[in-house]
Each structure stands twice: as structure tokens, then as C-alpha cells.
Amino acid sequence: MKAVPCLALAALGVAVVVTAGAADRWSGATKLTVVMVDNRFEPDHLTFQHGKAYELVLENRGKDMHEFTAPGFLKAATIRDKRALSSTGDIVVQSGNTARVFLIAPPKGHYDLTCADHDWDGMVGSIAVN
Ligand SMILES: [Cu+2]
């Protein structure tokens, strides 16, 4: 008769371990901050490590709305909450706002980065995943 509660406790233990593992994937995320001004990304060259978790922080200190337009990168990455992306797959940041996106870096390679609104003014950058 004692076997049942023991089994239930063991099952609970497994559940707790699994939950903690999933949370750790994001709690250990490396913070990477990009400041958006009118009309530049600072920095404009970003480097990620494939398979690592990141908290991408996009701080818009400009007067205009800016976008983190990196379709190849954002499609290939694992995004924790896809609601962070606009209908066109960009991350839109209004003036004075900060967007935080948790992601797992995609396969190694070079990816384009632009602001869809200000690429004409040189608001472009690049992303390297090593
Ligand atoms: Cu812009």
C-alpha cells in the first residue's frame, strides 16, 4: 500500500525537474542590448553563438518608430514568444519603448539586419552567428 504514494512522489519529482530545466533555458539567457536612434543601430554588428539563449533588448531612443528587420535570422531562430513579431515578421519598437525578445540563436552564418523604415538612410547592420 505504501508503493502508491512513493510512486506519486517520484512522478512529482520528475515533473519538477523537467519544469526547472525548461525555465533554465531562458533564465540563463545572455542579454544583448541594441539601441535604436534616428537612424542607426548601436551597435550595428551583432554576434551570437549558435544554440545559445539570448534576451535581445531593443531600446528605441529615437523620435521615430524603428524596426528590427532580420527575416532570415528571426525565421531561423527559436523565438520564445512569437507575439513579439509583427505580421511581417519584424520587431517594431515605438519611440521611447523597449522590446525584449528571448530567442535561441539559429545556425551559424551571416544574416542581414535593417530597419524597414530607414534602410534608405543607412539604418542597416549585420548579424553573425558563430
Ligand atoms: Cu528606423
Q: What is the mean pLDDT of the chain?
A: 89
Count of Cβ atoms closer than 10 Å to residue 73 Cβ: 22
Distance 48 CA to ligand 1 centre (A): 22
- The model's pLDDT over 71-127, given as tens digits with 9 standing for 90+, comes to 999 999 999 999 999 999 999 999 999 999 999 999 999 999 999 999 999 999 999
**Nearest Cα residue to 116 out of 65, 56, 52, 61:** 65
Please report the domains of the chain, with CATH numbers, ordered by start residue. 29-129 (2.60.40.420)
User: E strands within the chain?
Assistant: 30-37, 40-42, 45-48, 53-60, 66-68, 78-79, 91-93, 98-104, 109-114, 124-129
Distance 120 CA to ligand 1 centre (A): 10
Residue with the bigger pLDDT between 83 and 18: it is 83
Give the predicted TM-score (pTM) of the model: 0.82
Distance 107 CA to ligand 1 centre (A): 26
Local structure of 20: helix, strand or coil: helix
